[in-house]
Structure 1
Amino acid sequence: MDRFKGKTVLVTGAASGIGLATTRRFIAEGANVTMLDIDDSSLAKAAEEFPQERVLVHVGDTADSATARVVVKATVDRFGGLDTLVNNAGIASEGDITQTSEEDFARVMAVNVAGYFHMAKASVPELVKAGGSIVMTSSVSGLGGDWEMFAYNTSKGAVSNMVRAMALDAGKTGVRVNAVNPSFTKTGLTRDMLEDAELVKKFEERMPLGAPEDPEGVAAAIAFLASDDARLITGVNLPVDAGLMASNGQPPQ
């Protein structure tokens, strides 16, 4: 498919996991992609697999508002505009409220919430020109709570409602705003979880289509929401969760 031929996409957290899978998907469908990540060595290695005339590599921290302004300008200078922002960079922190330090809470909110704000704010003027869209990576943890994931749940809950609020305001400009809400996905953030066989089994029991999810499946949903096929869809938090949230929480028989 060439749904994004001639289009430009900016992906944050692009060096690994869902971000890298998303970059691959957009490149395969014809887009030019700006890859933004804080990990310079992983980003450089990841970018090697793509045609260099089709990618722009930028190292930066989305929690820094200056990064957002600089990378958007660099994208426009290189490719002539911006059609889609994929707000994907994120971090996690374990612990209940009593175990969560002020520093950990502040950092999670800075990356997962303020980072999305900075990137969206810098991108919107260009997206308005293009009639473009924003797709954010939220989580099923932004639609319901988890045990001992206080800071992460708080941040993803904010993202899920950020999407709704932005969609209402941006609709009149023609810009669409949506989110994907994955569950247990095979990424760097879940490395420890993947090594816990008992935990993986518990997820498999709760997810009708099996666990863990593959990043490519999440990337496919992101590409759909960014495409003209989703032109009537905005303000949506789309569970991409292998059926996890179809359950009411009762254990399987």
Structure 2
Amino acid sequence: MSVDGEEVVAAVAAHREFDGLVLLVTGGGSGIGAAVARDYAAHGGRVVVVDKEESRAIDVARGLPGDAGLGLGADVADEGDVGSAVRSAVDRYGRLDSVVNCAGHADLGRIDDLSYGRWKRMMDVHAGGTFLVCKHSLPHLRRTQGSIVNVSSISAFAAQAENCAYGAAKGAVTAFSKQLAGDVAADGVRVNVVAPGRTDTALTRPVYRERGGGDVAKGAALTAESVMQRRIARPSEVAAVITFLLSGAASFVTAATYVVDGGELAQ
């Protein structure tokens, strides 16, 4: 099958979807955040990788092409850290077009065993961190009519054993994002949510290891029994949906939640 010149140009343009644009991604030192950074850079964008572990952020940034990456250490629950990271991004690249909030941690347990401090830390990192990054990024995103994707979880929609704090925090992220989308729509800024299901990340592997009696692969296989597709996701599969929502192809999508769970919630 022959391909005419216009189709070739369109294909190249699509591949360079984010050419000249800048993304700030939190939790970018591993898992879904790192996969988003690589995908965005592969499509021509520049990425500010933010992670609580600065060395991990730097490693991911160094792996991006050319000068496409900047790695920064920051605790998203600390407003000073967040403000500094956003300023560094704009100082380095002169603009900010996209924000992805991936930073988070899992702290499972029955409510009887959860201290209020553990509960608050969960809320501070997930809901508070998302709020702070959005707040400090929005003055720059308004100038570029940019886009935000906040990462929630299917835990926001389905009860899971010993997961009340995490599920509540991700529920807060989901509700906050919908409200924020309405507040900033007139500014040309889009806000969406991606809610992953079971995914192979550094955050989930300890859970799989425990479930599998010390064997991560066995634990992942047992977990996948609840998934319609009978497997867990690769980070790149979730990242592909996130980068779609940041792209011009999703220009009429805002206040939406995309569930990426292999059909688990449908069962």
Shift of 1:142: 1.3
Alignment match of 1:36 (pick from 20, 40, 50): 50
Among candidates 49, 60, 76, match of residue 90 of structure 2: 76
1:174-202 Cα shifts (integer Å, max 9, x gaps): 11100110011000111123333465344
Q: Which of the numbers 230, 233, 239 marks the counterpart of 1:213?
A: 233
Aligned residues: 247
1:190 aligns with 2:204: yes
Structure 2 residues not aligned, in runs of 5+: 1-14, 213-217
Q: How does 1:167-206 map to 2 (within 5 A)?
A: 167-195=181-209, 196-197=211-212, 199-206=219-226
Work out whether residues 224 and 230 of structure 1, in 8 Å CA contact, stay in contact via their aligned partners in 2.
Answer: yes
Question: Structure 1 residue aligned with 2:34, among 17, 20, 35?
Answer: 20
Q: Please, which moves more after superposition, 221-230 or 188-197?
A: 188-197
Measure, in 2, the Cα distance between the counterparts of 1:214 and 1:233. Answer: 24
8 Å contact kept, 1:134–1:226 = yes
- 1:59-98 mapped onto 2 (5 Å cutoff): 59-98=73-112
Q: Which amino acid aligns with 2:233?
A: E
CA contact (8 A) 1:143 1:160 kept: no
Contact 2:76/2:129, CA 8 A, preserved across alignment: yes
Deviates more, 1:47-56 or 1:62-71: 47-56
Bigger mean CA deviation after superposition, 13-22 or 204-213: 204-213
- State the Cα deviation string for residues 87-120 of structure 1 (Å, max 9, x = none): 1100111112211111111111110010110000
- C-alpha distance in 2, partners of 1:52/1:132? 23
**Higher Cα Rg: structure 1 or 2?**
2
Structure 1 equivalent of residue 248 of structure 2: 228
- Residues 114-164 of structure 1 show CA distances to partners (whole Å, capped at 9, x for unaligned) of 011000000011111101010011000112221211110110010010111
| Corresponding letter in the other structure for 2:263 | G
**Aligned-pair CA distance for 1:205:** 2.5
Q: Percent identity?
A: 36
Shift of 1:230: 0.6
- TM-score under structure 2 normalisation? 0.89
Cα separation, 2, equivalents of 1:110 and 1:97: 18
CA distance in 2, matches of 1:33, 1:2: 14
Aligned residues of 2:59 and 2:71 also touching (Cα < 8 A)? no
61, 73, 77: which one aligns with 1:47 = 61
Instruction: Give 2:126's aligned residue.
Output: 112
Higher relative contact order by CA 8 Å / sep ≥ 6: 1 or 2?
1
> Hey, what does 1:149 align to over in structure 2?
163
Contact 1:112 1:156 in 2 (8 A): yes
Q: 2:143 aligns with which of 129, 153, 161?
A: 129
What TM-score, normalized to structure 1?
0.94
